């Protein structure tokens, strides 16, 4: 389930935790590339980590932006499996909505 507040989206996990999601801005993407170190050369890794780093708070508690590989791993563990499921469901819904918009535009 998603609740929208401007650019911030509240995702609810199956266990009832609330994840605050907001896409990264360009400056944050640069910071993320630095935090990833050698991993920044792996596009699949960057795509996954970029999604994880878009979680800004869990149950109202702000999440500091990761500064290295260890803090990225810690963030993934904080989000947890049910949080990652909620996050990926949200991303999938965005992609589905985008696909539907394109199909509608093609029809017209």
| Confidence label for 79 from pLDDT (cuts 50, 70 and 90) | very high
Expressed as residue numbers, the domain containing 88 is 2-107
- The string of pLDDT tens digits covering residues 25-57 is 999 999 999 999 998 899 999 999 999 999 999
DSSP notation for 12-78: E-TTS-EEEE-PPPHHHHHHHHHHHGGGGG-HHHHHHHHHHTTEEEETTEE-PPP-SHHHHHHHHHH
Which residues have C-beta within 8 Å of that of residue 48, sequence separation ≥ 6?
A: none
CATH number of the domain that residue 32 is part of: 3.30.2220
DSSP character for 108? Answer: -
Number of domains the chain contains: 1
| Confidence label for 94 from pLDDT (cuts 50, 70 and 90) | confident
Report how far residue 60's alpha carbon sits from residue 94's, in angstroms, rounded to the nearest whole number: 23
Q: What is the mean pLDDT of residues 58-65?
A: 96
Share of the chain above pLDDT 70, in %: 81
């Amino acid at each position: 389930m998603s609740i929208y507040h401007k650019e911030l989206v509240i995702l609810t996990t199956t266990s009832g935790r609330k994840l605050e999601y907001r896409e990264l801005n360009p400056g944050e993407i640069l910071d993320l590339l630095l935090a990833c170190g050698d991993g920044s050369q792996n596009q699949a890794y960057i795509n996954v980590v970029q999604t994880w780093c878009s979680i800004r708070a869990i149950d109202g508690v702000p999440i500091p932006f990761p500064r290295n590989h260890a803090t990225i791993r810690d963030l993934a563990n904080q989000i947890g499996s049910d949080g990652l499921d909620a996050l990926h469901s949200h991303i999938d819904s965005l992609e589905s909505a985008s696909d539907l918009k394109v199909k509608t535009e093609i029809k017209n």
